[in-house]
Amino acid sequence: MSVIILGIESSCDDTSAAVIKDGVLLSNVIASQAVHESYGGVVPELASRAHQQNIIPVVHEAIKRAGIDKSELSAIAFTRGPGLMGSLLVGTSFAKGLALSLDIPMVDVNHLKAHVLAHFIKENEADENQPNFPFLCLLVSGGNSQIIVVRSYDDMEVVGQTIDDAAGEAFDKCAKVMGLGYPGGPVVNRLANEGDPKAFKFSKPHIPGYNYSFSGLKTSFLYTLRDHLKEDADFIEKNKKDLCASLQATVIDILMDKLRKAAKDLQIKEVAVAGGVSANSGLRDAFQDHATRYGWKIHIPSFAFTTDNAAMVAITGYYKYLNKEFCAMDAAPFSRVTVAVTK
């Protein structure tokens, strides 16, 4: 009998629902919340209110687009954390209500693991591009920069992570001081495509192992602006493209240096990238370049699966369902996890 999973994602500012049948994606609906743009960042209270408004139409649309009836669902997978508590509560409570009314099990999903397992979503029956275990995954988003050894669907080990800011934060904070709006990552990427990556030099961290640090880069970026603005008040406007290109190139160098070291030391040549920053075209090019130069087999997600989406929740739920890993009705969401990727 087929296994049909409804996935629900509501950890931050995207309300999403998706349906996966035997590992193949049938639908993935995302309602993004524009309300935060004018605040320069996500406002938690507004996010939970928007989730409340979006959740019913989004789930309804996902089921409709999948061409199934909700009575055919095998289980409901939902993001339990990490994320914003008010946002998580909306998805968790909705999943509980629907699971109870349909008398089907619930599967709780770790949001970070879901980003990694997004690589296993089959976009159609013939899609055979899934990674082989073990592989390395560079998880880069607004809140995380991690190198993860993925040994199976539920065996993941974080071997390196940021000790301060995440890569996405570095993009967003530097974009903010240039007045580029929020989230800054996509804007930096767009401007970087027209700039010179060697125009400015920013400091890179010197820390041992596979850990990352981006706070030094942020400070070095700020000091560069401060020094030049003393001489020329229009410095940012005149050099925006080169500043973005140089910033992007430095972030990518920092990310790839440690990833290359981990791949070499651990002798793993299959390497994936996941999370919001994996939408960055420079980072995607760097992966392609490493595939050619070092013989890596690379996995770059479709754009739809880079930012928060329920398809990745549904696929994670699918594999947990096959293992009969269900969760109880009293499962509470968690905003943080001590080990970023838990078993």
Question: Where on the chain is the footprint of ligand KG4 (CB under 6 A)?
Answer: 12, 141-143, 168, 171-172, 183-186, 189, 275-277, 279-280, 307-308
Q: Provide, rounded to whole angstroms, the least separation between the CB of residue 70 and ligand KG4.
A: 28
* Nearest to ligand KG4 of 12, 341 (CB atom): 12
* Nearest to ligand KG4 of 193, 323 (CB atom): 193
Q: Provide, rounded to whole angstroms, the least separation between the CB of residue 312 and ligand KG4.
A: 10
Distance CA 341, CA 45 (A): 26
Read off the DSSP letter of residue 122: B
Q: Provide, rounded to whole angstroms, the least separation between the CB of residue 74 and ligand KG4.
A: 27
Rounded alpha-carbon distances, angstroms, from residue 311 to 62, 106, 134, 218, 276: 10, 16, 22, 33, 15
* Nearest to ligand KG4 of 141, 250 (CB atom): 141
* Nearest to ligand KG4 of 74, 246 (CB atom): 246
End-to-end CA separation in angstroms for the chain:
28
* Nearest to ligand KG4 of 31, 66 (CB atom): 31
* Nearest to ligand KG4 of 48, 74 (CB atom): 48
* Nearest to ligand KG4 of 172, 242 (CB atom): 172
Q: Provide, rounded to whole angstroms, the least separation between the CB of residue 168 and ligand KG4.
A: 3
Q: Residue 44, Cβ neighbours under 10 Å: how many?
A: 17
Q: Provide, rounded to whole angstroms, the least separation between the CB of residue 122 and ligand KG4.
A: 21
- The residue type of 166 is A
Question: What H or E segment, with its residue span, contains residue 59?
Answer: helix 44-66
**Which residues, 6+ apart, have CB-to-CB distance to 244 below 8 Å?**
178, 187, 188, 189, 191, 192, 195
For helices 281-294 and 235-266, what crossing angle results, to 10°? Answer: 40
Q: Provide, rounded to whole angstroms, the least separation between the CB of residue 284 and ligand KG4.
A: 9
CB 287 within 8 A of CB 273: yes
Q: Provide, rounded to whole angstroms, the least separation between the CB of residue 227 and ligand KG4.
A: 25
Q: Provide, rounded to whole angstroms, the least separation between the CB of residue 283 and ligand KG4.
A: 7
**Which residues, 6+ apart, have CB-to-CB distance to 171 below 8 Å?**
183, 184, 185, 188, 247, 248, 251, 277
By Cβ distance, which residue is nearest to ligand KG4?
A: 276
Taking the CA atoms of residue 288, residue 307, residue 197 and residue 260 in that order, the dihedral angle to the nearest 10 degrees is -40
Q: Provide, rounded to whole angstroms, the least separation between the CB of residue 65 and ligand KG4.
A: 22
Contacts 24+ apart (CB under 8 A), 20-23: 20/121, 20/311, 20/314, 20/315, 20/317, 20/318, 21/66, 21/68, 23/120, 23/121, 23/122, 23/315, 23/318
Distance CA 207, CA 212 (A): 7
* Nearest to ligand KG4 of 110, 141 (CB atom): 141
* Nearest to ligand KG4 of 81, 275 (CB atom): 275
Parallel, antiparallel, or unpaired: how do β-strands 135-140 and 270-274 relate?
parallel
